Amino acid sequence: MKNSLLISILLLTCISTNAQTIKITVSEAQIFARFGTHTNEEVLKAPDEDRGLKQIDCDYTFDLEEKTCIFFSRSLGGVGNTLPIHDITRKGSVYILEIADYGRYDASFSYPVKIYVDIDKETMLYTWYDKYLDRSFVSACWKLKMTLEGMQ
């Protein structure tokens, strides 16, 4: 009995210390925009603006237990930040992560962001709404490398 209790405690300790992280390196992305409040599908289907395919080099680390999003971009000259994840929703293989990002040039501007990560299809959409311009944006990450740690 004592042995099974000890084994159970050890297993629970191992499971609880195993961080659930999604690490993504993006090498190709494309930003689409549309005036007004729209779904991702609406923006991608009929954008007002398509900024074209860009070669980029950036990392995202989503720690689902600590609820943090770490971003680092080599292509922007070493720019990075860590933001809290306010909400995590899972729909099948898709994680929807909600954060509040801020302006690159004016940090007093805030933007609600939803990041859709499909761990089966290995895709990511970074979406945000700009209330100052009344525009919906979708950054479709076309080429990426994804690694999962501690995920089921």
Per-residue pLDDT, 77:
85
Whether the predicted pLDDT of 4 surpasses 60: no
**CB-based burial label for 98 (10 Å; 0-12, 13-18, 19+):** middle
* pLDDT band per the 50, 70, 90 thresholds, residue 104: low
Specify whether the CB–CB gap between 28 and 143 falls below 8 A. Answer: yes
Instruction: Kindly state the percentage of the chain with pLDDT values over 70.
Output: 85
* pLDDT band per the 50, 70, 90 thresholds, residue 109: confident
Task: Give the Cα separation of 66 and 84 in Å (integer).
Answer: 9
The average confidence (pLDDT) of the chain is 86
- In terms of DSSP bridges, do strands 21-35 and 49-63 run parallel, antiparallel, or are they unpaired? antiparallel
The 10s digit of each residue's pLDDT in 18-65 is: 569 999 999 999 999 999 999 999 999 999 999 999 999 999 999 999
**CB-based burial label for 70 (10 Å; 0-12, 13-18, 19+):** middle
* pLDDT band per the 50, 70, 90 thresholds, residue 70: very high
**Higher pLDDT among residues 8 and 59, named by residue:** 59
The 10s digit of each residue's pLDDT in 112-124 is: 899 999 999 999 9
Task: Give the Cα separation of 10 and 4 in Å (integer).
Answer: 10
Q: Which run of H or E residues covers position 44?
A: helix 40-45
pTM of the model: 0.83
Q: Give which of 3, 4, 9, 55 is closest to 28, Cα–Cα.
A: 55
Task: Give the Cα separation of 114 and 87 in Å (integer).
Answer: 9
